[in-house]
Amino acid sequence: MLALLVSLAMAQDVDPEWTVTVDPLTFGLGYAHVQVERAVSERASVYVGPHMRLFDGLLTEGHEPFLGFGAEVGVRYFPWGEAPEGAWIMGRQVVARLHTTDGSAPAKPGGYSSVLVGYTGILGERFVLSGGAGLNVLYYDIGEYGVSGPFPALHTNLGVAF
């Protein structure tokens, strides 16, 4: 995967339509995401990727023995830029199957919905740096574990454009 990202970063296309990014903030919270984004018009892009809750995050109090596997999809609108770069308004949805590793609760669906505003910059024609903030509505709880309800949403992404 690293070799693919490096080779994409070395490509010489000057008008990127695609990005592949990872979110270091959510990784620190115990969730792994890879987002593959495609500009679908001058002002809009869509992205998809796998979603995984693999381990307790930095803010988890005690051990929470549950995992989540699913997918994330998002749409970004760029009112003042040209997708996939510039200021954006985004809606995203994560859907996952949650299950405990200690058998304390039956498996169930979970996920979250978010609305955010932010900015994506493409530095040196390839390096993607993106950030935003907004509102999450989480339904990511199973048994006595996880979280549910409204929370602030933060977005951080690093990756490559091509």
How many structural domains are present in the chain? 1
Provide the residue range defining the domain that includes 156.
2-161
Task: Write down the pTM of the prediction.
Answer: 0.87
Q: Residue 5: is its pLDDT beyond 80?
A: no
pLDDT at 1: 55
Q: Evaluate whether 153 touches 140 at the Cβ level (below 8 Å).
A: no
pLDDT at 15: 85
Q: Residue 14: is its pLDDT beyond 80?
A: no
The pLDDT tens digits for 50-59 are 999 999 999 8
The pLDDT tens digits for 67-120 are 999 999 999 999 998 999 999 999 999 999 999 999 999 999 999 999 999 999
State residue 24 phi and psi, 5-degree precision.
-65, -30
CATH number, domain at 14?
Answer: 2.40.160.20
